[in-house]
Chain A
Amino acid sequence: MLVVIVALLVVPAAAALICLRAPAAAAQAVTAASGVACFGLVLALVPAASRRDLNYLSYLRVDAISVVFLLATGFLYACVAVYCVGYLARARSDPGFSAHSRRFYAGLNLFAWAMLAAPMMSSLALLWVAVEVTTVISALLIAIEDTDGAAEAAWKYVLIASAGLGLALLATVFAYYAGAQVLGQSYNLDFGPLLQVSGQLPHTPVRLAFGLAVLGFGTKMGLVPVHTWLPDAHSEAPTPVSALLSGSLLAVSFYAILRYYQVATAALGPRFPRDVLLVFGVASLLLAALYLLEQRDVKRMLAYSSIEHMGILAIGVSFGAPIALAGVLLHVLAHAAAKGNAFMGAGVIVTKFATKRISQVSGGLDLLPWSGPLFLLSVLALGAMPPFGIFRSEFEIVAGGLASGGNIASAILIVLVTLAFLGLAATTNRMLLMPRAAQVPEPVPARVASGGADGHSPPPALQRGEPSAWMVVPVAAGALALLVLGVHPPAELTGLLARAVHQLSGAA
């Protein structure tokens, strides 16, 4: 397995280096190959990680929890890498396209590399470094479209996320302090030994470390009230980057919180960490549900949906019951597929209608024969409709909440998820099902209009048809994955999730 793990670190990094020098066509082929190869490599890790923890070269550690997050990133990386072939094709005639595509593909591969590296780090310090690297790379990717909105979003993102990660670094320092009290001053912040001695750790520094980790990594995860960068960054980034930000990056930050949760639960007992996560989770879900009712920008709408789902994850962990934890881990995978699909579908809509404003989009189902229905399915999946994976995961989370005595929290979760779905459904109905002739024009501020088409010129006419088949295939793959996760998850995956739940429950 060492070869597979090293390959996961080498392949996207090598792809990034190649893309820096290669022509656009070669860069897109290399990126697509790297994405698919990385997903294959992650799949190869599943059987081994379902049985044991994999420790290599002192600094690499892969267990079942890591592989769940690697699966989410690997799958989205592959989908997005293929999607980019169609996404960038429309800008091929733009001046400076060659340099732009080199920067874009190199950044995309590096971004994926950092997100794949983070869950494989054995040390909490290196985990922090990897998450920080994801921040700086993604900030540059957000700014790459070179619009006013992109520059504003990138600055807000890098400043707020870096400040949050400053708190996460403090959490790392206090985790070292706690570990050094038991393991000695030469303790190297390895997660495994820390978890083994967690019962002997002093409580105050562990409390501090957990609280700071939730606040710090929670800033990157999009937990309210430290979420303010998220809607701006997700809406202004190029669509493939938005998909990775939402489906993978938020999950990687959640992974970091889960590691601190494991230590805190073992050291302090479940009450404190679960209460903290419940407060942040409910606040996130509440704010997102309310904002989803009144959105005017399709990508901002999906960004608030991401905050909603991060809130669901936090609430799910706070329930603590094994079935809720299984639901949380399944939710990470299903949300990656559903939100990746929704953003990629939104990218097709933005390309077709040359605007992100919801009021300017209608008749999508007629005009986009494949992407229209697929986007509709993605939104239904995000709203936890059966038979998709998010239905199964949220069902498990609520079942876990009821089983653990969290009746009020479960009721709040159900009400707010329903409210959020109302907002999503009403907006999607307008964009996809309302006949084009019934569109009500709305004055568009010049500033929004200029940056509203993802930085590209509109198509000459709105004729029925897809902008590119490359932008449909990965979304279809995502829909299939959602269906499989909802109807009948493979036995290997359920085995992996069972071991991950076992570890999260503190039984391993």
Chain B
Amino acid sequence: MAAVAAPSVFSGGANVVAVGVLLAEFGMFRQALLRDQVRLYAAQSALISVLAVIVAAARHLPELYVLAGLSAALKVVIVPILLRRLLRGTGRDSGEHGWTDIAGSGALSLASTVLLAIAVAAFGFFSVGALAIRSPVLPVTALAISVSVALVAFVLMIIRRDVASQAIGFFSLENAISLTALVVAAGLPFILEVAFLFDLLVVVVVFGLLIRVHHGRAESLSTADLTSLRG
């Protein structure tokens, strides 16, 4: 029986950060307030920037420092601030700061949702092992985790029945793709990475505008009324 080598400190650290990204995704299921979901999104984005810095230092990829900085500025600071501004005051249960209670907007109970998400994440994690894709910069476990995060983000978008959670589900899907890109495409030209980030900014603004349009007409963030177009 072949001996299994212990992972290096770099591999272990990278995998721990990647697991943190996955846990943040799971955390979004249980948040009852929109504010907390936005905070978790910011934390998840910060973890990905930390991972980019780790890769930049360990693999001597100086462009990744700049990218990590830009990504953090956008996803940890600008996007959460934009979301806060665009979503403040929406929803019928706005609290003293105008934040919305989105508890109970899941199509399933919380326990069932988490079980489903665990099953989907496990499927993603183990199926990546069969792909035989090797990364030059990160352990392949991080790739498996990134696929799990993407699948759980899809569950979040499908299960939640409020437009804000669906939007944050999409933004966290983008985080999962950033994690995948970090594993298998760390050398992607800087200009293209910047183009992706700028595109994300535009998408956030448009999502925010459409959420406000929806809120203006339905007077809530719920998608329960979005059933008139059928057939």
Check if A and B associate. yes
Residues A173 and B177 in contact, CB atoms below 8 Å apart: yes
A residues near B211, Cβ cutoff 8 Å: 155
Q: Write the chain A residue with the least CB distance to B209.
A: A140
Q: Is A244 an interface residue (CB 8 A)?
A: no
Query: Shortest CB–CB separation between residue A289 and chain B, in angstroms?
Result: 15
B residues near A140, Cβ cutoff 8 Å: 206, 209-210
Query: Shortest CB–CB separation between residue B139 and chain A, in angstroms?
Result: 15
Residues A163 and B192 in contact, CB atoms below 8 Å apart: no
User: A126-B195, A158-B206 known; A204 and B132 CB under 8 Å?
Assistant: yes
Query: Shortest CB–CB separation between residue A290 and chain B, in angstroms?
Result: 12
Residues A136 and B188 in contact, CB atoms below 8 Å apart: no
Residues B192 and A125 in contact, CB atoms below 8 Å apart: yes
Query: Shortest CB–CB separation between residue B121 and chain A, in angstroms?
Result: 16
Q: Which of A154-213 contact B (CB under 8 A)?
A: 154-156, 158-159, 162-163, 166, 169-170, 173-174, 176-177, 180, 185-189, 204-205, 208
Q: Is B231 an interface residue (CB 8 A)?
A: yes
Residues A129 and B199 in contact, CB atoms below 8 Å apart: yes
A residues near B223, Cβ cutoff 8 Å: 155
Residue tally, chain A, CB below 8 Å to B: 51
Q: Is B65 an interface residue (CB 8 A)?
A: no
Stretch touching chain B among A20-28, A144-152, A372-380, A410-418: A144-152
Q: Is B159 an interface residue (CB 8 A)?
A: no
Residue-wise interface mask of A (436-455) relative to B, using a CB-CB cutoff of 8 A (1 in contact, 0 not): 00000000000110000000
Residues B203 and A148 in contact, CB atoms below 8 Å apart: no
B residues near A132, Cβ cutoff 8 Å: 199, 203
- Please report whether the interface of chain A is mostly helix, strand, loop or mixed according to DSSP: helix
Residue-wise interface mask of B (166-204) relative to A, using a CB-CB cutoff of 8 A (1 in contact, 0 not): 110010011001001100111111001001100100110
User: A148-B228, A186-B189 known; A154 and B213 CB under 8 Å?
Assistant: yes
User: A163-B170, A185-B136 known; A173 and B184 CB under 8 Å?
Assistant: yes
Query: Shortest CB–CB separation between residue A212 and chain B, in angstroms?
Result: 11
A residues near B228, Cβ cutoff 8 Å: 148-149, 152, 447-448
Q: Is B217 an interface residue (CB 8 A)?
A: yes
Residues A170 and B177 in contact, CB atoms below 8 Å apart: yes
Residues B231 and A159 in contact, CB atoms below 8 Å apart: no
Distance A159 CA – B203 CA, assembled complex (angstroms) = 10
Residue-wise interface mask of A (382-399) relative to B, using a CB-CB cutoff of 8 A (1 in contact, 0 not): 000000000000000000
Distance A143 CA – B195 CA, assembled complex (angstroms) = 26
Q: Which of B131-152 contact A (CB under 8 A)?
A: 131-133, 136, 150
Residue-wise interface mask of B (206-231) relative to A, using a CB-CB cutoff of 8 A (1 in contact, 0 not): 11011101100110000101101101
Distance A155 CA – B170 CA, assembled complex (angstroms) = 13
Residues B214 and A155 in contact, CB atoms below 8 Å apart: yes
Q: Write the chain B residue with the least CB distance to A147.
A: B217
Q: Is A296 an interface residue (CB 8 A)?
A: yes
Q: Write the chain B residue with the least CB distance to A296.
A: B231
Q: Is A300 an interface residue (CB 8 A)?
A: yes
B residues near A43, Cβ cutoff 8 Å: none
Query: Shortest CB–CB separation between residue B208 and chain A, in angstroms?
Result: 11
- Please report whether the interface of chain B is mostly helix, strand, loop or mixed according to DSSP: helix
A residues near B131, Cβ cutoff 8 Å: 204, 208
Q: Which of A120-148 contact B (CB under 8 A)?
A: 123, 125-126, 129, 132-133, 136, 139-140, 143, 146, 148
From A149, A176, A177, A188, name the one whose CB has the most chain B CB atoms within 10 angstroms.
A177
Residues A143 and B177 in contact, CB atoms below 8 Å apart: no
A residues near B217, Cβ cutoff 8 Å: 148, 151
Query: Shortest CB–CB separation between residue B203 and chain A, in angstroms?
Result: 6
Residues B157 and A151 in contact, CB atoms below 8 Å apart: no
Q: Write the chain A residue with the least CB distance to B182.
A: A173
Distance A425 CA – B218 CA, assembled complex (angstroms) = 38
Query: Shortest CB–CB separation between residue B16 and chain A, in angstroms?
Result: 23
Residues A163 and B173 in contact, CB atoms below 8 Å apart: yes
Q: Is B40 an interface residue (CB 8 A)?
A: no
Q: Is B34 an interface residue (CB 8 A)?
A: no
B residues near A204, Cβ cutoff 8 Å: 131-133
B residues near A294, Cβ cutoff 8 Å: 231
B residues near A232, Cβ cutoff 8 Å: 229
Query: Shortest CB–CB separation between residue B66 and chain A, in angstroms?
Result: 16
Query: Shortest CB–CB separation between residue A138 and chain B, in angstroms?
Result: 10
Q: Is B163 an interface residue (CB 8 A)?
A: yes
Residues B196 and A176 in contact, CB atoms below 8 Å apart: no
A residues near B133, Cβ cutoff 8 Å: 177, 204-205
From B150, B209, B211, name the one whose CB has the most chain A CB atoms within 10 angstroms.
B209
Q: Is A429 an interface residue (CB 8 A)?
A: no
Distance A294 CA – B230 CA, assembled complex (angstroms) = 12
A residues near B229, Cβ cutoff 8 Å: 149, 152-153, 156, 231-232, 235-236
A residues near B154, Cβ cutoff 8 Å: 163
B207: contacting residue among A152, A158, A208, A236, CB under 8 A? A158
Q: Write the chain B residue with the least CB distance to A232.
A: B229
From A143, A235, A297, name the one whose CB has the most chain B CB atoms within 10 angstroms.
A143
B189: contacting residue among A156, A166, A188, A235, CB under 8 A? A188
Q: Write the chain A residue with the least CB distance to B226.
A: A152
**19 pairs, CB–CB < 8 Å, chain A vs chain B:** A125-B192, A126-B195, A133-B199, A143-B210, A148-B228, A151-B210, A152-B225, A155-B163, A155-B223, A163-B170, A173-B177, A174-B184, A176-B184, A176-B188, A177-B184, A186-B187, A232-B229, A235-B229, A448-B228
Q: Which residues of B contact A (CB under 8 A)?
A: 131-133, 136, 150, 154, 157, 163, 166-167, 170, 173-174, 177, 180-181, 184-189, 192, 195-196, 199, 202-203, 206-207, 209-211, 213-214, 217-218, 223, 225-226, 228-229, 231
Q: Which 10 A-B pairs have the closest CB atoms?
A: A185-B187, A136-B206, A177-B184, A232-B229, A125-B192, A176-B185, A152-B226, A188-B189, A166-B173, A173-B181
Question: Given A152-B225, A155-B211, A235-B229, 17 other A-B contacts at CB below 8 A?
Answer: A125-B196, A126-B195, A143-B210, A143-B213, A148-B228, A155-B214, A156-B226, A156-B229, A162-B207, A166-B170, A166-B174, A169-B177, A176-B185, A187-B187, A188-B189, A189-B188, A300-B231
